[in-house]
Amino acid sequence: MLFHARMDVRIPHDLPAEERADIVAREKAYAQQLQREGKWPHLWRVVGEYANVSILDVESNEELHDLLSGLPLFPYMDITVTPLATHPSDIALEQADPGGAAS
Residue 78 has what pLDDT? 98
Residue type, 92: A
Task: Inform me whether the pLDDT recorded for 5 exceeds 70.
Answer: yes
Is the residue at 30 inside a domain?
yes
Task: Identify which has the larger pLDDT, 98 or 90.
Answer: 90
Is the residue at 67 inside a domain?
yes
The CATH number for 56's domain is: 3.30.70.1060
Is the residue at 32 inside a domain?
yes
- State the chain's mean pLDDT as an integer: 94
Q: What is the pLDDT of residues 78-87, one digit of tens each?
A: 999 999 999 9
Is the residue at 96 inside a domain?
no
Task: Inform me whether the pLDDT recorded for 97 exceeds 90.
Answer: no
What is the value of pTM for the model shown? 0.85
**Total domain count, the chain:** 1
Is the residue at 14 inside a domain?
yes
Q: What is the pLDDT of residues 11-45, one digit of tens each?
A: 999 999 999 999 999 999 999 999 999 999 999 99
Is the residue at 24 inside a domain?
yes
For residue 52, give its domain range. 2-85
Is the residue at 57 inside a domain?
yes
